[in-house]
Structure 1
């Protein structure tokens, strides 16, 4: 996701940078100290979402949004302000959201979930990187499991892209089909489930009729999953 945030207050810009890096660590987020600079950034980067403070020196956020709506009518504009009295003016512009200061990550995430013009890809705090070395990030921080082999199990389920895998499939991938590793496999599955649940991710693992898969809407993929086969040398 590409975003632009304009606010003349430096601490506000730092706050939004922290929030966006947590919500969308792989995105591109740009910051401006005034509305005129924000207009330039919109022209340069064509963002998915523009966050605007309203009361800024020179051009106000309302004036900037009115100008940009004429140029890019489907631009998602979210106003971020400590002045709720501007809500009516914002609604007249058919904005995508109105966040009152002070705000937190939850407020921003909720606004992004209800955009007037939805993003092409859902926003998830869980990001799976398939390019280079396989890695998992949750809210911008590396996400790991207690057992080393659990990461390879998760990588294989990501590679299968939601397809259900039998215990036999997983034993074949991880231990060349050794049936005596059944207890070990159950320990890996428990480790994966427990680590996700401890992070508040309760909808990612799908179990059905002795098979295991992933809910692909619970995470965002960066890169090509086909590269995982080469990285892990699966047959």
Structure 2
């Protein structure tokens, strides 16, 4: 999980990152106290969560949030401020939470547990590896095909695809589309629970 903390008071940034590391030791936290530096950073990086102070010189947190969301609309924005009067305006950016300083640990934990866009530790790379033919899908197709007594040639004919396509499915070079996956289940006579 990648987290950005932006507040023009470095001590607040340091304290919040300390708390976040206590709560989520595996999180990758970046703390910045200069809004201009943060603007340059978000051009090249995306974050799952951004903790933003509202009152900062040069650019306020709400305007900063709009810039983050324009690049990555699934970023969870959590505002941190000493002034509760900003709450209504903040939620116009569909914030995940609004925390008043000093930040209470229980409120921080609650905010992290109720994100607008929940964050998973499962990466795209992990999904691709798990569902590649060398791991799950390919092996399962082979196993279910063999359990049904169907040869590879029979399977190719029933699917109406080339031998190369089936080879790629079974060896992890390709993942069938959802529609194709449904046809595979039909041809093998299995339901989705057995297939997955």
TM-score by length of 2: 0.58
Contact 1:79 1:90 in 2 (8 A): yes
Contact 1:8 1:33 in 2 (8 A): yes
Structure having the larger proportion of residues in strand: 1
Q: Which aligned runs of 4 or more in structure 1 are off by greater than 6 angstroms? A: none
Are 1:100 and 2:106 counterparts? no
Mapped partners of 1:35, 1:68: distance in 2: 12
Question: What pairs up with 1:11-160 in 2 under 5 angstroms?
Answer: 11-121=11-121
Mapped partners of 1:87, 1:36: distance in 2: 24
Structure 1 stretches lacking a partner, 5+ long: 123-235
* Deviations 1:150-191 (CA, angstroms, capped at 9, x unpaired): xxxxxxxxxxxxxxxxxxxxxxxxxxxxxxxxxxxxxxxxxx
Are 1:7 and 2:7 counterparts? yes
Structure 2 stretches lacking a partner, 5+ long: 123-196
Mapped partners of 1:36, 1:89: distance in 2: 22
Contact 1:36 1:64 in 2 (8 A): no
TM-superposed CA distance for 1:17, in Å, is 1.5
Mapped partners of 2:13, 2:121: distance in 1: 25
The structure showing larger relative contact order (alpha-carbon pairs under 8 Å, at least 6 residues apart) is 1
* Deviations 1:17-68 (CA, angstroms, capped at 9, x unpaired): 2101101112210011133322333333311100000000101101111122
TM-score by length of 1: 0.49
In our comparison, the structure showing a higher alpha carbon Rg is 2
Structure having the larger proportion of residues in helix: 2
Deviates more, 1:38-47 or 1:4-13: 38-47
Task: Quote the RMSD (CA, aligned, Å).
Answer: 1.6
TM-superposed CA distance for 1:10, in Å, is 1.6
TM-superposed CA distance for 1:74, in Å, is 1.3
The count of aligned residue pairs is 122
Contact 1:34 1:59 in 2 (8 A): no
Contact 1:66 1:93 in 2 (8 A): yes
**Secondary structure of 2:20 counterpart:** helix
Closer/same/farther in 2, CA of residues 105 and 68 from structure 1, 3 Å limit: same
